[in-house]
């Protein structure tokens, strides 16, 4: 009802970048991770990897600044997408997005962003460690809450 969003658990990410590969294959037909709509930020010296995608904001700033209405919220599927035919590549959404998610694709000469692969995100399908998941927006924190609570309650048992 509220739409599904991609939830990243960065503790599980191993930095294999499989998500980037399948994303680019699905969208561009080429195995080119630099054109993927999910980017894995890496800090190799601590082993910390953070996949970053579109947060699917309820009131997206990128749609407000788009001059051609190419970037709009698709009410039916509850996602924010950029219409490739309407986009003129002005890159204002790139500057506007607080997460810096959309990026300019120099081969298609338009701005692209994650569009949840029309209902079945490929990155979720192919991630072996399940670091990324596609869940209802109001249930995003349930797994994390459960995890933290379990560990906390274990600690309390230890203390006693």
Contacting residues toward another protein, per CB under 8 A? 10-11, 39, 41, 43, 46, 48, 50, 52, 61, 63-69, 86-92, 94-101, 103-104, 108-111, 144, 147-148, 151-152, 154-155, 158-159
Q: How far is the CB of 56 from another protein (least distance, A)?
A: 15
- End-to-end Cα spacing for the chain: 44
Closer residue to another protein, CB minimum distance, 125 or 146? 146
Under 8 Å between Cβ of 76 and 52: no
Closer residue to another protein, CB minimum distance, 58 or 120? 58
Q: Which residues pair with 81 in a beta bridge?
A: 72
Task: Give the Cα separation of 44 and 141 in Å (integer).
Answer: 27
Closer residue to another protein, CB minimum distance, 100 or 119? 100
Q: How far is the CB of 147 from another protein (least distance, A)?
A: 8
Instruction: Give exposure, 60-96, as e/b (b: 16+ Cβ within 10 Å).
Output: bebbeebeeebbbbeeeebbbbbeeeebeebebbbeb
Q: How far is the CB of 120 from another protein (least distance, A)?
A: 26
Q: How far is the CB of 59 from another protein (least distance, A)?
A: 11
Under 8 Å between Cβ of 6 and 124: yes
């Amino acid at each position: 009802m509220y739409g599904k969003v991609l939830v990243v658990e960065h503790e599980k990410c191993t930095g294999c970048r499989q998500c980037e590969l399948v994303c680019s294959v699905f969208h561009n037909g080429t195995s080119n991770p630099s054109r993927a709509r999910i980017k894995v930020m890496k800090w190799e010296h601590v082993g910390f990897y953070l996949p970053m995608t579109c947060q699917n904001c309820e009131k997206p700033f990128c749609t407000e600044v788009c001059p051609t209405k190419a970037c709009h919220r698709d009410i039916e599927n509850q996602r924010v997408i950029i219409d490739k035919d309407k986009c003129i590549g002005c890159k204002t959404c790139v500057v506007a997005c607080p997460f810096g998610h959309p990026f300019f694709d120099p081969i298609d000469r338009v701005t692209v962003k994650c569009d949840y692969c029309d209902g079945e995100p490929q990155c979720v399908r192919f991630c072996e460690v399940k670091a990324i998941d596609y869940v209802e927006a109001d249930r995003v924190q349930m797994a994390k809450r459960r995890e933290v609570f379990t560990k906390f309650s274990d600690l309390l048992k230890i203390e006693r």
